[in-house]
Amino acid sequence: MTENFNCGSEQHRRPGECSAGPGEAQWVTGIDHELAFWDHWLATRGDRWPQDFTKRLDPQLPVEERVAAVLREIPRDHLKVLDVGAGPLTVLGKVMPGKTLEITAVDPLADAYNALIDRHGITPPVRTRKGFGEQLHELFAPGTFDLAHAQNCLDHGIDPLTAFRNMLDMIRPDGRVLLFHRENEGIEENYAGFHQWNFTERDGAFIIGARDGTEVNVDDALRGIADVETRRVNGCLLTVLRRVAVAVAANE
Ligand SMILES: C[S@@+](CC[C@H](N)C(=O)[O-])C[C@H]1O[C@@H](n2cnc3c(N)ncnc32)[C@H](O)[C@@H]1O
């Protein structure tokens, strides 16, 4: 696994049982697996990935180039960044030359993660707060952030397209949404626990696939709202969403 540039899922590969299709009831069954993984990871200071653990605690960690490249497109020096599905310790770097970053991390399991962090005597540079990608409007006003980021998490969610739309709502008009996920996690993980969705790219478009074979073309679904750019990087899908400018009528 490439320490600096991966979408992280390798750390979460574990056997599990198949179960019914996606939805909230299915999602709940994934909680124990997720918490057990992170409890062990925190207790062992990163398990097989000690560098990853150390980096996440480093307040001087440079922001990853894939993130920096997008942040450079935004013409402000102080940038507010939202990490959705951040886990107990956001993976995002904390510093970037010429910019100051203000990172907010959210995750549905934040309360349990924070209890684990405290139990294991860890002081996080950014403490994750509770929130679903599907319910960001309950936490933040639209247009609060410059960048909304999600890595290896929204294919663990209940309704990825809603989470993408919410992330677009959370950014300023010239902000960005950056998604970084492995392809076809549902298939790869045998639909265990949180892994109910398959993300892939086809003919340049970002596709969300459900276990029953139904698909949503995200480029089509967001047409007129955002431009969607997807490419494969190190075996993962890197997707940038840019909001489409809304034309204002001449007599307004
Ligand atoms: C494999 S971990 C990845 C954490 C972190 N992004 C990383 O790369 O290390 C997946 C995370 O997605 C979170 N998650 C699951 N469903 C979610 C949802 N609907 N909205 C946001 N995050 C969700 C889980 O709680 C879990 O912390």
* DSSP one-letter string for 22-89: SSHHHHHHTHHHHHHHHHHHHHTTSTT-HHHHHHHH-TTPBPPHHHHHHHTTS--SEEEEEEET--SS
pLDDT at 146 > cutoff 90: yes
Residue 203: C-alpha distances to residues 164, 220, 231 (Å): 20, 12, 10
What is the per-residue DSSP string for 133-169? Answer: GGGGGGTS-TT-EEEEEEES-GGGSS-HHHHHHHHHH
CA 227 to ligand 1 center in whole angstroms: 24
Tell me the pLDDT tens digit for each residue of 165-218: 999 999 999 999 999 999 999 999 999 889 999 999 999 999 999 999 999 999
Does the C-beta of 179 come closer than 6 Å to ligand 1?
Answer: no
The values of phi and psi at residue 217, to 5°, are -85, 110
Which among 219, 211, 163, 213 is positioned nearest to 191, based on CA atoms?
211
| Distance separating alpha carbons of residues 65 and 59, to the nearest angstrom | 17
Tell me the pLDDT tens digit for each residue of 65-81: 999 999 999 999 999 99
| Distance separating alpha carbons of residues 119 and 105, to the nearest angstrom | 20
Does the C-beta of 116 come closer than 6 Å to ligand 1?
Answer: no
pLDDT at 5 > cutoff 80: no
CA 102 to ligand 1 center in whole angstroms: 20
Ligand 1, atom 4: nearest CA belongs to which residue? 87
Ligand 1, atom 13: nearest CA belongs to which residue? 85
110-119 vs 31-43: helix axis angle to the nearest 10? 30
Query: Regarding predicted confidence, which is higher, 16 or 215?
Result: 215
Q: What residues have CB less than 8 Å from 177, skipping those under 6 apart?
A: 147, 148, 149, 150, 164, 167, 168, 171, 226, 239, 240, 241
| Distance separating alpha carbons of residues 70 and 81, to the nearest angstrom | 11
Q: What angle do CA 22, 162, 101 make, to 5 degrees?
A: 120
- Nearest atom in ligand 1 to the alpha carbon of residue 12 is 1
Q: Using the structure block, give the residue that is written with the tokens 């010429």.
A: 98
CA 203 to ligand 1 center in whole angstroms: 27
Does the C-beta of 84 come closer than 6 Å to ligand 1?
Answer: yes
Does the C-beta of 92 come closer than 6 Å to ligand 1?
Answer: no
CA 157 to ligand 1 center in whole angstroms: 7
CA 109 to ligand 1 center in whole angstroms: 8
**For residues 26-47, average pLDDT:** 95
Written as six digits, the tokens of 114 are: 């924070």
Between the two ends of the chain, the Cα-to-Cα distance in Å is 54
Beta partners for 200? 207
pLDDT at 2: 26
Written as six digits, the tokens of 34 are: 């997720």
Ligand 1, atom 19: nearest CA belongs to which residue? 157
- Which helix (H) or strand (E) covers residue 178, if one does? strand 171-182
pTM value is 0.91
- Nearest atom in ligand 1 to the alpha carbon of residue 7 is 8
Ligand 1, atom 22: nearest CA belongs to which residue? 85
Average pLDDT of every residue of the chain: 90
Fold topology of 9-196+203-243 = Rossmann fold (3.40.50)
Q: Quick count: other Cβ atoms within 10 Å of Cβ 140? A: 18
Does the C-beta of 134 come closer than 6 Å to ligand 1?
Answer: yes
- Which helix (H) or strand (E) covers residue 185, if one does? helix 185-188
